[in-house]
């Protein structure tokens, strides 16, 4: 048993894919912690209660959060500020708060606006796990198995608070890594935010074609994989792009320069340089797969 979590009262605000998967994993691991949920979707919360994944739920943060050991904010980036505002009057000094949003700079700024300075027990975090599906019904207990969770504590963040949040993620099967807020947002702009933008844009471009239905009719598995992330939650991704716009624009501009270069190779039918580009890309992806296999042996390619 993970002693760090035994007996702890954990409140998940926002029981979607991420929060719901935490609740399911904690229940399955049987760590002896008491998990509650706060949210607005009565039907989902009743379902989670019926599933035995939470001990109780409320629409009001005051009901469980006042004496919580750990609060997990499970909502998209732009919804964090008003949840922190609701929490501020009832938050006990010892209560550790973490979040799961995909952009960390905006979350830190929201905490600064609400509290004046970011509380020492607030630990910004981001599980690199997800799916193009969303909501509690898509959540699953093994979502975090073999996945990475990045925590981005500030210089003054309480080390014990960081440790408690790290224990939570380790308990549900993840590997925990530390990174600065700024670095996190740049790395994720490249590896996650840009690919999502490209996939959304591609499906949008093709859907403007007069022969949309026909085009989709002849698309194959490669297209399905390539555009899978374009089925992701529009609200969550709106929030990510609005709050991580600068880092995304930076890597998008580099990408568009690369596309212009490749376009020129098409115009000139430069077979050799096209071959070199594809060969280099294939080799680079093999490097990525070697990391990926190592870190996530349950999902071999």
Of residues 49-108, which lie at the interface with a second copy (CB under 8 A)?
78
CB of 90 to a second copy, least distance (A): 29
279 binds a second copy (CB under 8 A): yes
In contact, 173 and 298? CB cutoff 8 Å: no
Using the rule CB under 8 A, which residue among 147, 154, 158, 160 binds a second copy?
Answer: 147
Instruction: Report the candidate in 94, 38, 32 with the shortest Cα–Cα distance to residue 68.
Output: 94
Any contact of residue 263 with a second copy (CB under 8 A)? yes
What x/- string results for residues 203 through 242 when contact with a second copy is judged by CB under 8 A?
A: xxxxxxx-xxxxxxxxxxxxxxxxxxxxxx-xx-xx--xx
The site string for a second copy over 124-143 (x = CB under 8 A, - otherwise) reads ----xxxxx-----------
User: Is residue 92 packed enough to be buried (19+ CB in 10 Å), middle (13-18) or exposed (0-12)?
Assistant: exposed
- Under the binding rule (CB under 8 A), the answer on residue 182 touching a second copy is no
Give me the least distance between CB of 288 and a second copy, in Å please: 4
CB 67 within 8 A of CB 12: no
CB of 213 to a second copy, least distance (A): 7
Length of the chain: 301
Is residue 115 at the binding interface for a second copy, with CB under 8 A as the rule? Answer: no
The C-alpha atoms of residue 65 and residue 91 are separated, in whole angstroms, by 7
Phi then psi dihedrals of residue 92, to 5 deg: -80, 150
Phi, psi of 268 (to 5 degrees): -90, 5
Which one of 11-19, 20-28, 158-166, 249-257 is the stretch in contact with a second copy (CB under 8 A)?
A: 249-257
Size of the residue set binding a second copy (CB under 8 A): 96
196 sits near a second copy (criterion: CB under 8 A): yes
Helices (H), 51-177: 62-65, 80-87, 105-115, 159-171
Q: Which is nearer to a second copy, 155 or 271 (CB)?
A: 271
**Least separation, in Å, of the C-beta of 252 and a second copy?**
6
Angle at 96 between CA 127 and CA 59, to 5 degrees: 85
Measured from the CB atom, the residue of 155 and 267 that comes closer to a second copy is 267
């Amino acid at each position: 048993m993970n002693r760090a979590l035994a007996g702890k009262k954990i409140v998940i605000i926002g029981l979607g894919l991420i929060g719901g998967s935490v609740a399911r994993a904690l229940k399955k691991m049987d760590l002896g912690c008491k998990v509650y949920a706060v949210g607005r979707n009565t039907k989902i919360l009743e379902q989670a209660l019926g599933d035995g994944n939470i001990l109780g739920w409320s629409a009001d943060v005051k009901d469980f959060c006042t004496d919580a050991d750990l609060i997990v904010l499970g909502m998209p980036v732009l919804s964090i500020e008003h949840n922190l505002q609701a929490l501020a009057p009832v938050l006990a000094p010892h209560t550790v708060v973490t979040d799961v949003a995909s952009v960390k700079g905006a979350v830190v700024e929201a905490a600064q606006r609400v509290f004046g300075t970011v509380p020492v027990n607030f630990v910004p975090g981001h599980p690199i796990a997800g799916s193009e599906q969303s909501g509690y019904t898509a959540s699953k207990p093994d979502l975090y198995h073999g996945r990475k969770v990045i925590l981005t504590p500030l210089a003054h963040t309480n080390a014990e608070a960081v440790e408690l949040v790290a224990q939570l993620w380790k308990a549900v099967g993840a590997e925990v890594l530390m990174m600065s807020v700024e670095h996190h947002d740049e790395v994720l702009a490249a590896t996650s935010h840009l690919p999502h933008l490209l996939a959304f844009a591609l499906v949008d471009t093709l859907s403007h074609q007069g022969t949309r239905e026909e085009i989709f009719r002849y698309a194959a598995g490669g297209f399905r994989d390539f555009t899978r992330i374009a089925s992701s939650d529009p609200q969550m991704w709106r929030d990510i792009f609005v709050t991580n716009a600068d880092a995304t624009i930076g890597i998008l501009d580099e990408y568009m320069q690369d596309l212009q270069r490749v376009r020129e190779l098409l115009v000139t039918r430069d077979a050799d340089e096209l071959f070199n580009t594809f060969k280099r890309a294939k080799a680079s992806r093999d490097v990525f797969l070697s990391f990926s296999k190592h870190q996530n042996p349950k999902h071999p390619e």
